[in-house]
């Protein structure tokens, strides 16, 4: 009895200190069952840094050469030539190799149960198939896990509310996030990784000048891996090289509904502009907010002028405020066939439901984007026929890059 009271008196302050945070102690964090990457991942000599610019990416690929492009939508340099090899800035093969292992290593979470790869699965275009994802304690994230699409060319901000400017700015956020990975003390992470038998060499190879397991190098390697992820070999991309002779009649119809008829839509400066139902916001080649060929971003012509996100009328009044008023980042639609469920809250489980939303269910939200309104300001009704809706879905499926989602360079190097 006495023993119990004494013990209680000693542990109580600690319990009080930690109870609002976690019951996991530092010792628990450091003593983890050691899982090792497959030897393939440790010995591989994959090439990550050098890429060949495909047709259609002449402008967007300039972003690859910028160290940390952040939120800049206007590129002032001269477009690249398709077929040219460029080196992705901040990426070396050794850094990306290390970054791949870090991305999939559950040791980056406080109780070694969750890795970045737990919520970003390669075969699902790096989304996870769930409306909300479970973090290290099984608690759910507040938003739908996003697919990872060409982060090095993402000039419109990261996360559904665009709160981080770049892959680099984002790289450690999920690690310290209290729902996702819970590793709030990055010093502990450094010690934990130093306790493995494989990281010392990987860090030495990646950072010969400063071969240390530091949070900066961890962040830099994850950034390098993210920036090395380029997806630009979908059926659509192949079509760019062959005037879409590889498309079926239905896919061509879907493309026209989506993007408009590019041949007849040239602005006074000679730029191709979209008069389709979707391409003004999801514009090629990234299928996110555009801004490459036109220099005009859909964010800047939002009715309310908030310039931050876009409200597509999912609800009359939004529960999640997003960038402030129910507006969200325009997500890239590359690999969208694989990234269900859809929208920031994962409310739609199929592409057909998404198309139905745009066709007939747009709500009169106060700041509904101007492109989704009729002239009188009411929510737009596209009145697609059933065949049109099918064609739109068929077109969306041409954005799937099978090579990217089976590329061993981005695959999970751990057994589990
Ligand atoms: C528990 C699940 C979970 C884990 C673990 C996780 N993420 Fe995420 N990730 C998400 C969710 C949810 C979002 C969207 C969050 C938001 O918008 O608020 C997201 C968004 C992202 C995005 C933004 C994509 C874009 O286009 O804006 C990137 C990149 C990303 N995560 C990378 C990572 C990396 C790197 C790690 C590991 C260090 C990681 N994630 C760990 C769930 C997770
Ligand atoms: C006014 C700009 C705008 C237009 C026009 C637009 N979208 Fe979107 N789209 C968005 C935004 C913003 C989101 C994210 C909304 C959210 O989650 O709250 C989105 C989300 C999506 C998603 C879900 C992506 C994911 O990863 O969850 C799909 C699919 C989609 N749109 C397809 C289309 C199609 C098809 C059309 C044409 C019929 C279209 N969009 C027209 C802005 C637009």
| Average pLDDT value over all residues in the chain | 88
Cα three-residue angle 15-16-17, rounded to 5 degrees: 90
Residues 80 and 171 in one domain: yes
Q: Judge whether 293 lies within some domain.
A: yes
User: How far is the C-alpha of 363 from the C-alpha of 372, rounded, in Å?
Assistant: 10
Of residues 26 and 57, more confidence is placed in 57
Residues 122 and 92 in one domain: yes
State pLDDT tens for residues 207-247: 999 999 999 999 999 999 999 999 999 999 999 999 999 99
User: How far is the C-alpha of 307 from the C-alpha of 316, rounded, in Å?
Assistant: 20
State pLDDT tens for residues 91-139: 999 999 999 999 999 999 999 999 999 999 999 999 999 999 999 999 9
Residue 92 Cα distances to 46, 95, 146, angstroms? 10, 5, 25
Ligand 1 near 58 CB (within 6 A): no
Residues 378 and 264 in one domain: yes
User: How far is the C-alpha of 242 from the C-alpha of 179, rounded, in Å?
Assistant: 46
Residues 174 and 269 in one domain: no
Residues 207 and 174 in one domain: yes
Q: Judge whether 254 lies within some domain.
A: yes
Q: Judge whether 416 lies within some domain.
A: no
Q: Judge whether 16 lies within some domain.
A: no
Domain boundary among 232, 267, 286: 232
Residues 109 and 167 in one domain: yes
State pLDDT tens for residues 384-403: 999 999 999 999 999 999 99
Ligand 1 near 116 CB (within 6 A): yes
CATH number at residue 164: 1.10.760.10
Range of the structural domain that residue 160 is part of: 39-232
At residue 302, the pLDDT reads 52
Contact between residue 380 and residue 85 where contact means Cβ atoms under 8 Å apart: no
Residues 223 and 239 in one domain: no
* Residue 37 scores a pLDDT above 50: yes
Which ligand has the shortest distance to the CA of 343? Answer: 2
- Which tokens is 255 given? 């493309």
Q: Judge whether 361 lies within some domain.
A: yes
Number of domains in the chain: 2
Residues 393 and 284 in one domain: yes
At residue 324, the pLDDT reads 84
State pLDDT tens for residues 257-274: 999 876 566 656 665 556
In this structure, how many other beta carbons lie within 10 angstroms of the beta carbon of residue 223? 25
* Cα 285 to middle of ligand 2, angstroms: 15
User: How far is the C-alpha of 81 from the C-alpha of 250, rounded, in Å?
Assistant: 31
State pLDDT tens for residues 166-197: 999 999 999 999 999 999 999 999 999 999 99
Which residues have CB under 6 Å of ligand 2?
Answer: 277-278, 280-282, 298, 310, 312, 314, 328, 330-331, 333, 336, 339, 342-344, 351, 354-355, 358, 369, 371-372, 392
* Cα 183 to middle of ligand 2, angstroms: 33
At residue 154, the pLDDT reads 85
Of residues 177 and 290, more confidence is placed in 177
User: What does pTM read for this prediction?
Assistant: 0.91
């Amino acid at each position: 009895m006495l023993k119990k009271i004494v013990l209680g008196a000693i542990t109580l302050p600690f319990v009080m200190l930690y109870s609002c945070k976690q019951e996991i102690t530092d010792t628990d964090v450091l003593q983890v069952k050691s899982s090792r990457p497959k030897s393939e991942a440790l010995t591989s000599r994959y090439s990550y840094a050098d890429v060949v610019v495909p047709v259609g990416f002449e402008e967007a690929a300039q972003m690859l050469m910028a160290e940390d492009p952040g939120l800049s939508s206007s590129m002032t340099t001269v477009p690249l030539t398709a077929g040219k090899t460029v080196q992705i800035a901040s990426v070396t093969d050794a850094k990306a190799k290390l970054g791949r292992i870090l991305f999939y290593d559950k040791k980056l979470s406080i109780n070694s149960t969750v890795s970045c790869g737990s919520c970003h699965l390669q075969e699902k275009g790096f989304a996870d198939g769930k409306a909300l994802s479970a973090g290290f304690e099984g608690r759910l994230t507040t938003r739908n896990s996003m697919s990872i699409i060409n982060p090095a060319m993402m000039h419109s901000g990261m996360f559904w509310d665009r709160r981080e400017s770049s892959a680099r700015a984002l790289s450690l956020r999920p690690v310290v996030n209290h729902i996702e990975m819970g590793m709030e003390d990055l010093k502990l992470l450094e010690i934990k990784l130093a306790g493995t038998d494989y990281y010392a060499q990987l860090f030495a190879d990646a950072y010969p000048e400063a071969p240390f397991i530091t949070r900066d190098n961890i962040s830099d390697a994850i950034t390098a891996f993210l920036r090395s992820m380029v997806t630009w070999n979908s059926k659509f991309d192949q079509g760019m090289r062959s005037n879409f002779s590889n498309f079926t009649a239905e896919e061509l119809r879907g493309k026209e509904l989506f993007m408009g008829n590019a041949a007849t839509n040239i602005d006074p400066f000679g730029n191709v502009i979209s008069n389709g139902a979707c391409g003004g916001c999801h514009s090629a080649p990234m299928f996110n907010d555009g801004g490459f060929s036109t220099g005009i971003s859909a964010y800047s012509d939002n009715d309310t002028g908030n310039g931050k996100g876009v409200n597509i009328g999912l609800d009359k009044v939004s529960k999640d405020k997003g960038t402030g008023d129910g507006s969200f980042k325009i997500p890239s639609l590359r690999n969208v066939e694989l990234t269900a469920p859809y929208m920031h809250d994962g409310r739609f489980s199929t592409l057909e439901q998404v198309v139905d939303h745009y066709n007939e269910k747009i709500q009169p939200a106060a700041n509904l984007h101007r492109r989704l309104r009729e002239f009188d300001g009411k929510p737009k009704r596209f009145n697609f026929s059933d065949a049109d809706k099918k064609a739109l879905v068929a077109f969306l499926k041409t954005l799937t890059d099978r090579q990217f989602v089976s590329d061993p360079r981005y695959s999970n190097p751990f057994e589990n």
